[in-house]
């Protein structure tokens, strides 16, 4: 969950004081990592699932304040827009029955969430971009009340100095100008957290970047934006363009963007990412806290305004020891709980296998980045380059190499065999049939062009039914 703040207006002294505290905490974190003072507990996993509130006509319903009061769940929180909410899981060790436990927890969370929505005459739906969304829904009146979001909006618009431009070419083309950051609210995701020791976490960070292309391809669930069919996972392009700010002064428009794939592999330590945060990104929320440097309050707040698709995070174990984890952000929300846990299983197994085999030594960072955007645009039909230099269709790479590697990784983590079979089996069937959430939505639109409300209602019926997306019937 993002940190809330107590005000939205800042002075030059605020920025200077914040910069000093950020520098001190960044140096301290590097020392903690170097001296082995961070947690060695791991692997620990957790997830964040973002969702939409919709009315009977499948239109966005900006009622998350009332909804969260009824739900009364400490692990649920508002998102940027009043029609979005976020659900968090409890952290758990990645071994044994961790995957089936995660499935059970998410299913129970969503059952409670559905019931709370019904009390308001609403529905709750998990999907990357709501097909019925229109730009008229993305207005300041629909921004959640948290000061954090209003301050970010003001600071980003101050930095850009002009309306935000969206220009996405895919199956169709869209070009719009928007006066605020509410475009970001069009994108909801399923974010996976993986904690491990500081000695290993930078290798898992590299592995997560390498896994991003296959993960965004198999999990795609966001083809439509404002009625246009764009990328297989349009959410990727939209989020990057919705927060179009970069680094200091002349670099404010690039090359390092606040939303992006990153600048390279971590070489020796995950601390390199936090050094990059300090050196290349100006503060957007210069809130100063009366805390010890070891609380890393300013480092964590600043890091929360830099949205790498694979984002390193600093947290704390129950005993107060700082820990390091990777937040994998490439996957959209939905279609079902079993699909989401299958995506997570594939991610955990693949990153573990990539890490153990040192795959980053064989695939340059620039290739991993290019493959990610190709996969986000073209899905399973994307052509990528594997370690031997062979260029092949991603669907074939998944079947021949990546799914077996994911199984190997999960086995090495001592995950229960029935869980491996079930969840990787769902990914295997999705690849075999080619029916991702995106492909199902496109099939519906080919059968009933333009009827996004009916498609969304059918999607919701299938989601509540719980069958994985590869089993959903198409018109």
Give the pLDDT confidence of 39-57 residue by residue, as tens digits: 999 999 999 999 999 999 9
Residue 399 has pLDDT above 60, yes or no: yes
pLDDT value at position 159?
Answer: 78
CA distance 129 to 131: 6
Task: Enumerate residues 6+ apart whose C-beta is below 8 A from 439.
Answer: 379
Could you read off the pLDDT of 306-342 as tens digits, one per residue? 999 999 999 999 999 999 999 999 999 999 999 999 9
Q: What is the chain's Cα-based Rg?
A: 21
Residue 201 has pLDDT above 70, yes or no: yes
Could you read off the pLDDT of 402-420 as tens digits, one per residue? 999 999 999 999 999 999 9
Mean pLDDT, residues 415-434 taken together = 98
Residue 165 has pLDDT above 60, yes or no: yes
CA distance 17 to 19: 5
pLDDT value at position 7?
Answer: 62
Residues above pLDDT 70, as percent of the chain: 96
Question: In 3-state terms, what secondary structure has residue 401?
Answer: helix
Task: Enumerate residues 6+ apart whose C-beta is below 8 A from 63.
Answer: 53, 82, 83, 120, 122
pLDDT value at position 253?
Answer: 55
CA distance 5 to 81: 17
Given a contact cutoff of 8 angstroms between Cβ atoms, the answer to whether 33 and 270 are in contact is yes
Mean pLDDT, residues 441-459 taken together = 97
Sign of the Cα pseudo-torsion (33, 36, 42, 43, in order): positive
**Helix crossing, 337-357 with 98-119: angle to 10°?**
150
Residue 164: other Cβ atoms inside 10 A: 21
pLDDT: is 5 or 170 the higher one? 170
Question: In 3-state terms, what secondary structure has residue 148?
Answer: helix
Cβ-count burial of 263 within 10 angstroms (0-12 exposed, 13-18 middle, 19+ buried)? middle
CA distance 314 to 329: 16
Of the candidates 28, 75, 36, the one whose C-alpha atom is nearest the C-alpha of residue 298 is 28
Q: How many alpha carbons lie under 13 Å from residue 376 in its C-beta half-sphere?
A: 26
12-470: CATH number: 3.30.590.20
**Helix crossing, 403-412 with 417-433: angle to 10°?**
170
pLDDT: is 145 or 295 the higher one? 295
Could you read off the pLDDT of 239-252 as tens digits, one per residue? 999 988 776 654 55
Of the candidates 38, 330, 87, the one whose C-alpha atom is nearest the C-alpha of residue 199 is 38
Mean pLDDT, residues 468-473 taken together = 97
CA distance 261 to 272: 15
Residue 2 has pLDDT above 60, yes or no: no
From 10-24, 50-64, 205-219, the region with the lowest mean pLDDT: 10-24
Cβ-count burial of 82 within 10 angstroms (0-12 exposed, 13-18 middle, 19+ buried)? buried
Query: Average pLDDT of the chain?
Result: 94
Domain residues of the chain, as ranges? 12-470
- The bridge status of strand 259-260 relative to strand 307-308 is parallel
- The structure tokens 């991610």 sit at 347
Question: In 3-state terms, what secondary structure has residue 355?
Answer: helix
Could you read off the pLDDT of 7-20 as tens digits, one per residue? 667 888 999 999 99
Mean pLDDT, residues 391-401 taken together = 95
Cβ-count burial of 74 within 10 angstroms (0-12 exposed, 13-18 middle, 19+ buried)? exposed
CA distance 142 to 157: 17
Residue 186 has pLDDT above 70, yes or no: yes
Residue 170 has pLDDT above 80, yes or no: yes
pLDDT value at position 6?
Answer: 62
Chain centroid offset of residue 181 CA? 17
């Amino acid at each position: 969950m993002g940190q809330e703040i107590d005000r939205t207006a800042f002075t030059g002294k605020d920025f200077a004081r914040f910069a000093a505290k950020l520098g001190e905490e960044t140096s301290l974190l590097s020392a903690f990592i170097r001296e082995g003072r961070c947690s060695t507990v791991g692997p620990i996993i957790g997830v964040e699932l973002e969702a939409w509130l919709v009315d009977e006509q499948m239109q966005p319903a900006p009622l998350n304040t009332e909804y969260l009061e009824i739900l009364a769940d400490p692990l649920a929180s508002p998102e940027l827009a009043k029609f979005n909410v976020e659900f968090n899981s409890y952290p758990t060790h990645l071994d044994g029955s961790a995957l089936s436990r995660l499935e059970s927890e998410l299913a129970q969370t969503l059952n409670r969430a559905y019931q709370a929505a019904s009390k308001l005459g609403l529905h709750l739906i998990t999907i990357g971009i709501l097909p019925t969304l229109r730009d008229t829904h993305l207005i300041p009146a629909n921004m959640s009340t948290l000061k954090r979001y209003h301050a970010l909006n003001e600071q980003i618009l101050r930095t850009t100095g002009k309306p935000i431009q969206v220009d996405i070419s895919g199956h169709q083309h869209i070009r719009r100008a928007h006066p605020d950051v509410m475009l970001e609210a069009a994108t909801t995701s399923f974010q996976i957290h993986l904690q491990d020791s500081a000695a290993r976490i930078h290798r898992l960070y590299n592995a997560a970047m390498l896994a991003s292309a296959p993960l965004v391809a198999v999990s795609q669930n966001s083809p439509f934006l404002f009625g246009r069919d764009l990328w297989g996972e349009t959410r990727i392009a939209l989020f990057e363009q919705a927060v179009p700010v970069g680094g200091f002064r002349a670099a404010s428009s690039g090359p390092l963007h606040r939303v992006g794939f990153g600048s390279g592999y971590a070489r020796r330590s995950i601390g390199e990412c936090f050094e990059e945060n300090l050196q290349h990104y100006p503060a957007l929320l210069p809130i100063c806290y009366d805390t010890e440097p070891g609380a890393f309050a300013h480092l964590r707040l600043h890091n929360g305004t830099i949205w790498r698709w694979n984002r390193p995070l600093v947290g704390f174990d129950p005993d107060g020891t700082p820990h390091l984890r990777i937040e994998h952000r490439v996957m959209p929300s939905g279609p079902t709980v079993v699909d989401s846990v299958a995506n997570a299983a594939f991610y955990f197994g693949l990153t573990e296998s990539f890490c153990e085999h040192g795959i980053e030594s064989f695939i340059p960072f620039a290739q991993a980045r290019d493959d990610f955007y190709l996969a986000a645009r073209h899905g399973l039909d994307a052509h990528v380059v594997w370690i031997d230099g062979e260029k092949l269709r991603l669907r074939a790479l998944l079947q021949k190499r990546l799914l077996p590697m994911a199984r190997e990784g999960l086995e090495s983590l001592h995950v229960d065999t029935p869980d491996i079979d079930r969840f990787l089996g769902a990914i295997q069937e999705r690849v075999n049939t080619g029916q991702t959430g995106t492909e199902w939505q496109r099939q519906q639109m080919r059968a009933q062009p333009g009827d996004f409300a009916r498609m969304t209602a059918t999607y919701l019926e299938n989601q509540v039914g719980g069958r994985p997306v590869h089993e959903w019937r198409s018109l």
